[in-house]
Structure 1
Amino acid sequence: MKKIATLCLLLLALYGHAQTNAELPPGILTSKAVMDRFMNLRFGMFIHWGPVTLRGTEIGWSRHREVPGADYDTLYRQFNPVKFNADEWVKTASEAGMKYLVITAKHHDGFCLWPSAYTDYNIMATPFKKDVVGLLAKACKKYGIQFCIYYSVLDWHHPEYPTDNIYDTTGAGIRKNAHIEKYVAYMKNQLKELVSNYDPYMLWFDGPWESVWTKEMALDMYAYLKTLKKDLIINNRLGKAFSGVDASGTATFLGDYDTPEQRIGDLNMNMPWETCMTICEQWAWKPNDKMKSLRTCIETLAKVAGGNGNLLFNIGPRPDGAIEPEQVVRLKEMGSWLKQYGAAVYNTHGGPYEPNPAYAATRSGNKIYLHVFEAAKGNLTIPALPGVKIKKAYLLKGGAVKLTVTADQLIIPLPAVLPDPNDTVVVLETDKPAISIAPIKNDKKK
């Protein structure tokens, strides 16, 4: 996906100037109160899934590459995921400690996981014939998970979308008789259908980089969606500016929050952001895909929270509809850790320390939570907190810790073997609200 995301960034540079929220009609942006509640959730499940799992290749991107277009576009005729169980998927998310869920209702390949009235290229044309989006929405309500929908701006299958194959340099991948204005009307119809029928908490857009999608279309679409649901959260991928794999972040964009991909965002106390990242290597299911270790998973979550962001962690269910058992186990292990240490993640702010390889920090009230990943010779040495008195220090779910305080350092003694090898949390209680402490940068990479 890194090469793909790099290509996307190049396309963004070539095809259009970024628009910003300042160009929207006043008063329609999602309120700070709604966004604060979203950012308090901290942890969500991303699901990339569809007929392409029958080939084990990447969703959307493998069309006309690993999978010939004619084959890719007819996979739906064989798609019969008899082991799909929305309740089990959402229960797994709940047991992982996830608070929201995003399903790829329509990816770049154009296939729809709900019975859309505006195309026959949808789940009802498969042998399965069940409304995946609707079943997940219902299960999310049962488990108290916020239900969200992914929808691609581009659609390499739709006859009115002008591009069929971005990898074709001969021009054969351009639909010369397509009418983008008809496709935009199709988008609006489908999005109204999704918002009206499933009441999503958030819409996660993707695919705005191709030249046929313009700044004016993006601005109009955001404004249109707000007429459907005032408090609908909308990510920044309707517009041309967003953080991808190689970008360091964007100062301005169109939408409610930034979306760095396959990397941890930087500490930012002003702009809401969410890292989207895979639990394995591919977004959609791949046989024997390499999965991240439990330590990497927990460190990633802690560093994202420490940067003041959310983590949208992706799984790719199998063609039969089941989630790989190994992934279920890993997610439940994360949930077990969060049952112990969730106070250091949920409803917190990042900082004041910038995340680094040794530790990250979150804060709430008069507490700073230090997420310790390694301690040199049994000590964690961190910069002092200017003008702040530490009233108490202790392990979360553990005993007191005796600090050594110097003019410029805090030295925290820890056992040679950390109590939790994945993330040991040390609590510092301060004499003032922790959020009042200015961010403390460091030169170490995360």
Structure 2
Amino acid sequence: MKNSYSKCFTLLLCMSLSVAHAQRNDILKESTAYEWPADVAVKQKLETWQDKKFGMIIHWGLYAVPGIIESWSICSEDWIERDSTIKYEDYKKWYWGQSEKFNPTKFNPEQWAKAGKDAGMKYLVFTTKHHDGFAMFDTKQSDFSIAKGPFSTNARKDVAKYVFDAFRKENFMIGAYFSKPDWHSQYYWWDKYATANRNNNYDIRKYPWRWNMFKNYTQNQIAELMTNYGSIDILWLDGGWVRPLASVNQEVLSWGAPIPEWSQDIDMPKIATMARKAQPGLIMVDRTVHGQFENYQTPEQKIPEKQLDYPWESCMTLGGAWGFVPNDQYKSAGEVVHKLVEIVAKGGSLLLGIGPKADGTLPDDVVNKLEEIGKWTSKNGVAIYGTRITKNYHDGQNWFTQSKDGKTIYGISLLGQNPVKEIVWQGSVPKKGTLITLLSNNQKLKWTLKDGKIHFDLPETDEKIALTFSFTPENNP
């Protein structure tokens, strides 16, 4: 069997990128359903969060050891690929066994926080537990955690604490990702039955005691995160199939994922009451379960086609996978900035996914990419951070935001391969008699209005990604 595990590991290293890039049916789209929170403190924190615009989501867990897709390889659904010579149960044992190897002795959250700050990121979402159930914090509810394996003798074994502390020191808002399903728990995937898919594998109606144990287990772990880890701004709950059956609608059915006949209700009202007692004003993100516990929406790996007038973020990977995989292909700084600009002009925020290596450090390529992104945000961030949407938000390669008081419009022109000598856009007209300012060097530019379009010549610049301008709009008194 040892040889089989070795063969499985070798194959997984070869297929990790192809799996990460494969067609997935867990990718979430935006919805048209949104309910504004009634809690004033939540509204205030949402307003603060909407100023940040650019965040980092970190996936780090057992899957970093072999460098494979996070958690999903142990799920028995037809879109998941595994070595066909390895029995499914043996594969799960091999995967769980990575907990005996995960010893990140170079764990360096300060490096992560510095890289995020250098990129211009303003908030963090850290994966405290993914679907595989392996906790990246010192939970008292289970022995399946980073604090109980080889890393247990390390002074920083309570990983989440040190991650949150490192990012707080860099003035990040702090978010805790938590998976509602837990595939390692006997209260969710019970060994009595096969694990057919992502859902719990027993009929809750027949075994209510077992499901109540899972609810208590989940609520207790979330309580640990809300009470033992300092100030938390966001509780980011993943695994939207764990939800009341009554909330399953056509949107959920369109995912094509299996839906059980019973309700996987974990009592979100109770969780929210507990969490907000510990963390007043907490933003809750119960992904895809629309209503009072989804304070902002999270379209995944895509950008909505049109501007949205409620809080949302696009969560996207820097590379092809959420966690670390060897030889990953990362997006260019220009591509990330272009996505950030479009997202912000449409009213959202960008949550960019990175994955530390198994030793606890970021890949050099990730650090370098984030530094490149930061060269642009450090010069042009005024057009991103603290802005709000404007009616005329897009024309060709030009995107527009505005200051909260509406007195300044920012135009961001995305650059391609060909040099630009003239900027032209329609709509978003400057006030007569004023000048347009090129933010990178504070140069004042004259403009003309011809055939309903703004025209102005562009002086020479070294900028390769996007040019940012500010001006007073024509309707400003």
TM-score w.r.t. structure 2 length? 0.78
Name which of structure 1's ranges 343-352 and 221-230 shifts more when overlaid on structure 2: 221-230
> Is 1:45–2:76 an aligned residue pair?
no
1:145 aligns with 2:172: yes
Q: Secondary structure at the match of 2:392?
A: coil
The aligned amino acid for 2:426 is P
Deviation at 1:56, TM superposition (A): 1.2
1:259 corresponds to = 298
Q: Tell me the equivalent position of 1:422.
A: 465
**Runs of at least 5 residues in structure 1 that lack an aligned partner in the other structure:** 242-251, 435-446
Q: Residue 438 of structure 1 corresponds to which residue in structure 2?
A: none
Aligned to 2:211: 180
Paired residues for 1:254-293 under 5 Å: 254-268=293-307, 270-293=309-332
1:356 and 1:184 mapped to 2: Cα distance? 49
Given that 2:188 and 2:201 are in contact with CA atoms closer than 8 Å, whether structure 1 keeps it comes out as no
- The answer to whether structure 1 residue 373 and structure 2 residue 414 are counterparts is yes
Distance in 1 (CA, whole Å) between partners of 2:200 and 2:414 is: 49
Matched AA of 1:425: T
Letter of the 1:288 partner, please give it. N
Corresponding residue for residue 154 of structure 1: 181
Q: After superposing the two structures, state which structure 1 stretch, 394-403 or 88-97, moved more.
A: 394-403
* Structure 1: distance between partners of 2:112 and 2:180: 26
Q: 2:375 aligns with which of 336, 351, 372?
A: 336
Q: Which amino acid aligns with 1:429?
A: T
Q: Distance in 1 between matches of 2:327 and 2:471?
A: 42
Structure with higher Rg: it is 2
Match of 2:228 among 171, 177, 197: 197
Any idea what the Cα deviations from partners look like across 1:365-388, whole Å, max 9, x if unmatched?
A: 422111111489633322234796
Whether the 8 Å CA contact 2:99–2:149 is kept in 1: the answer is yes
* Contact residue 273 and residue 310 of structure 1 kept, 8 A: yes
Q: Alignment partner for residue 390 of structure 2, among 340, 347, 351? A: 351
Partners of 2:21 and 2:320 within 8 A in 1: no
Write the distance in 2 (CA, Å) between the matches of 1:219 and 1:57. 35
The structure-2 alpha-carbon separation of the partners of 1:268 and 1:81, relative to structure 1 and needing over 3 Å to count, comes to same
Change beyond 3 A, Cα 1:350–1:21: closer
Q: Is the 8 A contact 2:447 2:454 kept in 1?
A: yes
Residue 120 of structure 1 and its aligned partner are, at CA, apart by 0.5
Would the alpha carbon gap of residues 7 and 98 (structure 1) be closer, same or farther in structure 2, given more than 3 Å must change? closer
Tell me: CA distance 1:387–1:342, structure 2 relative to 1, closer, same or farther (3 Å). closer
Q: Does 1:227 align with 2:277?
A: yes
Aligned to 1:394: 437
SS in 2 for 1:186: helix
Letter in 1 for 2:237: F
1:240 aligns with 2:283: no
Question: Which AA in structure 2 matches 1:420?
Answer: E
Distance in 2 (CA, whole Å) between partners of 1:33 and 1:226 is: 14
What residue is the counterpart of 1:6 in the other structure?
25
CA-CA distance at 1:352 after TM superposition:
3.5
Within 5 A, what are the aligned runs for 1:25-40?
27-28=38-39, 31-40=42-51
Cα distance change on mapping 1:63 and 1:236 into 2, 3 Å:
same
Letter in 1 for 2:465: N
* TM-score, with structure 1 as normaliser: 0.83
Match of 2:6 in 1: none
Partners of 2:392 and 2:315 lie apart in 1 by 22
Measured against aligned partners, the alpha-carbon deviations of 1:285-331 in whole angstroms (never above 9, x if no partner) come to 11000000111011111111111211111111111111001110110
How far apart, in 1, do the equivalents of 2:35 and 2:133 lie?
28
**Letter paired with 1:240:** V
1:29–1:188 distance in 2 versus 1, CA, 3 Å: farther
Q: Describe the shift of the 1:112–1:359 C-alpha distance in structure 2 as closer, same or farther (beyond 3 A).
A: same
Task: Confirm whether residue 208 of structure 1 aligns to residue 240 of structure 2.
Answer: yes
Query: How far apart, CA to CA, are the structure 2 residues paired with 1:262 and 1:82?
Result: 32
- Residues 301, 320 of structure 1: alpha-carbon distance in 2 compared, 3 angstrom cutoff: same
* Superposed CA offset, 1:347-373 (max 9, x none): 111334334661221111422111111
Q: Does 1:133 align with 2:173?
A: no
Classify the secondary structure of the residue corresponding to 2:434.
strand
User: What do the CA deviations read for 1:95-137 (whole angstroms, capped 9, x no partner)?
Assistant: 2111111110000111001110111101122211211101112
Q: Are residues 41 and 4 of structure 1, via their aligned partners in 2, closer, same or farther at CA, if it must alter by over 3 Å? A: same
Q: Determine the C-alpha separation between the residues in 2 that align with 1:84 and 1:274.
A: 28
- 2: distance between equivalents of 1:335 and 1:320? 25
Shift of 1:200: 1.3
